[in-house]
């Protein structure tokens, strides 16, 4: 454009005012580039499906009163398995999630036990050997070895503490469905456990009662004292809410 105007006789007027026009041209070009990068940045910040599309990173749509976006319990359990496997190895029994407060923040803890198989008898469990901690928002905190004494138990590390089998009368598919339902109840209850208002609504009361029954049915009987020790505040809260009329 500049070359044409300077070479064409009709551009003599342009030549007389070339400094002004060159300045305008440079400013316009710079503004255009800035506008282009604004568009690129906006596109990069927009999730697939648009700004109003549903999150697909495993986080729940429920938040604590402090604005923490809680990760869904099923995703926390999957993440715990990924983080623990290189250290704990297979075979190992991963416990159900245990909500607990650490330094004022809500965390979810998992125990790991070695099973002992002797068919056709149910699997036998050794005491927990590892404890994994995740924040309720999905950040890895730690994975460390533990002993029964840390949970107030007198078991020896190589002592079999009891058997674990599928609940009587349930198929493996039914257990998977019940476990999925239990995880959904965790998702419903955790924001309430974090806030612990003076009185719970009917939805929370109903969920706490169902949770208590499903957890009793699905969780490992030999680990009950470990669950209670590790998640004392959570399970006491569930007991309290489920007794509400």
Q: Give the mean model confidence (pLDDT) for residues 97-107.
A: 95
Q: In the chain, what percentage of residues exceed pLDDT 90?
A: 63
Residue-wise burial string across 51-64, b where 16 or more C-beta atoms lie within 10 A, e elsewhere:
eeeeeeeeebebeb
Mean pLDDT (the chain, rounded): 80
Q: Give the mean model confidence (pLDDT) for residues 10-17.
A: 43
Q: Is the pLDDT of residue 203 over 50?
A: yes
Who has greater pLDDT, 156 or 62?
A: 156
Reading the block at residue 199, the tokens are: 């009185």
pLDDT in tens, 131-175: 999 999 999 999 999 999 999 999 999 999 999 988 989 999 999
Residue 60: the pLDDT is: 52
Q: Decide: 125 and 112 in contact? Cβ < 8 Å.
A: no
Who has greater pLDDT, 41 or 227?
A: 227
Reading the block at residue 29, the tokens are: 């070009």
Q: Is 181 left (phi over 0), alpha (psi -120 to 50) or beta?
A: alpha
Q: Is the pLDDT of residue 49 over 50?
A: no
Q: What is the pTM of this model?
A: 0.73
Domain positions in the chain are 2-45, 59-242
pLDDT in tens, 209-225: 999 999 999 999 999 99
Query: 98 falls in which pLDDT band (50, 70, 90)?
Result: very high
Residue 191: the pLDDT is: 94
Q: Give the mean model confidence (pLDDT) for residues 197-215.
A: 91
Q: Decide: 217 and 178 in contact? Cβ < 8 Å.
A: yes
Q: Is the pLDDT of residue 117 over 80?
A: yes
Residue 67: the pLDDT is: 54
Reading the block at residue 179, the tokens are: 């476990």
Q: Is the pLDDT of residue 126 over 50?
A: yes
Least Cα distance to 219 among 119, 111, 146 occurs for 111
Query: 195 falls in which pLDDT band (50, 70, 90)?
Result: confident
Query: 23 falls in which pLDDT band (50, 70, 90)?
Result: very low
Least Cα distance to 69 among 77, 60, 78 occurs for 60
Burial class (CB in 10 A: 0-12, 13-18, 19+), 196: exposed
**DSSP three-state, residue 132:** strand
Residue 17: the pLDDT is: 47
């Amino acid at each position: 454009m500049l070359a044409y105007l300077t070479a064409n006789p009709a551009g003599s007027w342009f030549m007389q005012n070339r400094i002004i026009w060159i300045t305008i041209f440079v400013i316009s070009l710079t503004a255009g580039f800035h506008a282009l990068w604004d568009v690129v940045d906006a596109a990069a910040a927009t999730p697939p499906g648009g700004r109003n599309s549903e999150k697909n990173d495993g986080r729940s749509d429920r938040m604590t009163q402090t604005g923490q976006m809680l990760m869904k319990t099923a995703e926390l359990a999957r993440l715990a398995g990924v983080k623990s496997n290189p250290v704990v190895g297979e075979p190992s029994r991963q416990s159900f999630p245990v909500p607990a407060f650490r330094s004022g923040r809500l965390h979810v803890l998992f125990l790991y036990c070695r099973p002992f198989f002797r068919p056709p008898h149910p699997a036998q469990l050794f005491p927990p050997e590892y404890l994994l901690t995740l924040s309720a928002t999905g950040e890895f905190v730690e994975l460390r070895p533990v002993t029964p004494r840390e949970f107030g138990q007198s078991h020896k590390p190589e002592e079999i503490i009891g058997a674990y089998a599928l609940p009587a009368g349930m198929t493996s598919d039914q257990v998977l469905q019940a476990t999925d339902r239990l995880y959904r109840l965790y998702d419903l209850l955790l924001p309430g456990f974090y806030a612990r208002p003076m009185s719970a609504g009917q939805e929370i009361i109903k969920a706490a009662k169902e949770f208590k029954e499903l957890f009793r049915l699905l969780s490992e009987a030999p680990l009950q004292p470990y669950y209670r020790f590790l998640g004392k505040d959570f399970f006491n809260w569930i007991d309290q809410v489920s007794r509400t009329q």
